[in-house]
Amino acid sequence: MRELLEIAPDVDFLLGLGPEALGARLMFLLRARGNQLFNPGYMAKELWNLDVPAHAPYSVRRREAVDLAIRAAWNWLGAQGFIVSADNENGRNGFCVFTNRGRKFKNSNCSEEVRSLGIAGGVLQFSRPDATKSS
């Protein structure tokens, strides 16, 4: 999911997100794409197959940790009833669809919907970490 680099350009920031915060971000990013059918495995591979000069991918040395965090986030989305396996052959090949509950969420500004996720306030802020802060 190449858009993840725009909202979490720092690998440590990404890895610091819990499955619920990362899962919610993935859901909103995917909903913005308008995909009806998607494969979480393919989405994760997008991070490592980028040909976008403006955005360097995460360090390959961190790939295992990043992939694990993303899989945990997809798993959280499934456990919360936001996504399920697609029907028939597509589902057997790893494709998923949004459930009715998942389709209700349009973006992170839907405050009532976001509250129903049970995530603490501010977790879904899509701003990048401030690289200009001094320690």
List, for residues 50-107, the tens digit of each pLDDT value. 665 445 578 888 989 999 999 999 999 999 999 999 998 999 999 999 998 888 876 5
Would you state the pLDDT for residue 1? 79
Domain annotation covers residue 66 = yes
Domain annotation covers residue 121 = no
pLDDT tens for 37-63 read 999 988 888 888 766 544 557 888 898
Give the ranges where 80-134 is alpha helix by DSSP (H): 88-92, 100-103, 111-116
Would you state the pLDDT for residue 14? 93
DSSP 8-state symbol, 99? -
Domain annotation covers residue 126 = no
Domain annotation covers residue 124 = no
Single-letter amino acid code for the residue at 75: N
CATH number at residue 19: 1.10.10
Would you state the pLDDT for residue 102? 87
Report which listed range, 28-32, 71-75, 111-115, 131-135, is most confident. 71-75
What is the domain count for the chain? 1
Give the domain extent around 102.
Answer: 4-113
Nearest to 83 by CA among 71, 70, 95, 98: 98
- Whether the CA torsion 30, 33, 38, 44 is positive or negative: it is negative
- Give the CA angle between residues 38, 41, 45 to the nearest 5°: 110
Domain annotation covers residue 125 = no
Domain annotation covers residue 134 = no
